[in-house]
Amino acid sequence: MRITGSHLIDLATTATSRAQERVADAAGVLSSGKRVELASQDPTAWAAGRRAADRAALSSARGDAIDATRTRLSETDRALGTIGGIVETARSLAIQGANDTLDATARAALGNQMQQLFREALGAANTQTSDGEYVLAGSRSDVAPFDAAGAYAGDAGVRTVETAEGVTQSLSVPGSALTAAAGVDVLPALSALATALSTNNPAGIQAALASLDTAGKQVSRARGDGGSSLAALDSVDQARSGFEVQLAKQLQAAVDADPIAAASEFARSSQVLEGAQSVAVRVISLVRPRQ
């Protein structure tokens, strides 16, 4: 085949130009650390990277939801703990008040103490989170769930939250757990004891004592439910962290450059460029007209 000098120069120029493009590409990958930034660079890898990134973003948002739920459950646990403690104290006062040796004055003093405990229990049952939500109100959490008499105005709504892909968990304890629907009306039972003590009513004290036994179990059960939810939440949050690490690896595998491969490609392409440049210089000197 007949090869002209000018064609040799064209070939050398084209080869140098392509080698420069290759070096530029390799330098871009090496400096950015990204193998795929546009879908056109590797459509399948780009899409896999996007899916991993989106799943990671959703998982991170679930993390925020878990944090908010954990705060709410902790508030709930604190409130139930307070109520549970008060119920225990109330039982002691009831036993004390049921003693036949006690006179009306002594019972009235216990009644005053019990009134104070009832108000504390009522306050705990109407606990609000920092954003003003009542933790023991079920779904009617924008209004105080228990009135002054301790009657429940909330509902039995349980909040369900997505905590992992395809996993939703019931993560709240409604105030209905403290009502007759679950045993006895806990707060009215406390109130009834206070009244019985104040009015020197031994029969009423005995009746309240029986109710408080049930109330204590109810509060414990409700607290246990909340605790289980918290434990489950911690467990799912831990799994979430591991899941996000996996997603980060998937994203990395899809679109990130392997540093060693990128550095090798840069070195190789640089060598190719140097070779192409040497050839171009040699070709130009070969085909240059001699004097």
Partner 1 sequence: MSDLLSLLGLGSAGLLAQRSGVAVATNNAANVNTVGYSRQRVDLHAEIGAPEVGGVSTGNPHRIADDLLANRERDAAGDLGLSKAVSQSLLDLEQSVAGTGPTLDQQIANVFGRLNTASATPLDDNLRSAALTAARDLVSGINQRAAATQAIRSEFDARVRDAAKTATGLAADLAKTNDALQAKDDPVLRDRRDQDAKQLAAIVGGSARIDPDGQMRFVLEGGAVLVDGTRAAQVQATTDPTTHFAKVEIVDGTARRDVTGNLQRGEMAGYLQARDQDGAQAANSLDQLASDLATSVNAIHSANAGTDGVTGRNLFTPLAGVAGAAAALRLDPTVAADPRKLALAGPGAGAGDNAGARALVALKDSRIAAGGTRTLGDAAIDLVQVIGTGAARAKDDSARDTALTDSLATLRNSVSGVDLDEELANLSRFQHASEAMTKFVSTVDSLLGSIINGL
- In the complex, the residues that contact partner 1 under the rule CB under 8 A are 1-7, 10-11, 14, 38-43, 46-47, 50-51, 53-55, 57-58, 60-62, 64-66, 68-69, 72, 129, 131-134, 137-142, 154-155, 157, 159-162, 166, 168, 171, 287, 289
For residues 173 and 76, is the Cβ–Cβ distance under 8 A?
Answer: yes
For residues 273 and 22, is the Cβ–Cβ distance under 8 A?
Answer: yes
If you count them, how many residues does the chain have? 291
How many helical (H) and strand (E) elements, i.e. helices and strands, does the chain have? 6, 2
Going by their DSSP bridges, the two strands 160-164 and 167-170 should be labelled as antiparallel
CB of 9 to partner 1, least distance (A): 10
Nearer to partner 1, 157 or 227 (CB): 157
CB of 214 to partner 1, least distance (A): 27
In 3D, which of 187, 199, 118 has the Cα closest to residue 153? 187
261: which residues sit within 8 A by CB, 6+ positions away?
none
DSSP for residue 236:
H
Strand partners of residue 169: 161
What distance, in Å, lies between the first and last C-alpha atoms of the chain?
27
Calculate ∠ Cα 75-80-82, nearest 5°. Answer: 95
CA 174 to chain centre: 20
- Whole-angstrom Cα Rg for the chain: 37
Nearer to partner 1, 141 or 195 (CB): 141
Nearer to partner 1, 6 or 105 (CB): 6
Strand partners of residue 167: 164
State the alpha helices, DSSP H only, in 126-201: 186-198
CB of 8 to partner 1, least distance (A): 9
Nearer to partner 1, 53 or 108 (CB): 53
DSSP state string for 145-212: SB-TT--B-S-----EEEEETTEEEE----GGGGSGGGSS-HHHHHHHHHHHHHTT-HHHHHHHHHHH
Nearer to partner 1, 161 or 248 (CB): 161
Residue at token pair 């140098």 = 16
Q: What angle do the packed helices 202-255 and 186-198 form, to 10 degrees? A: 150
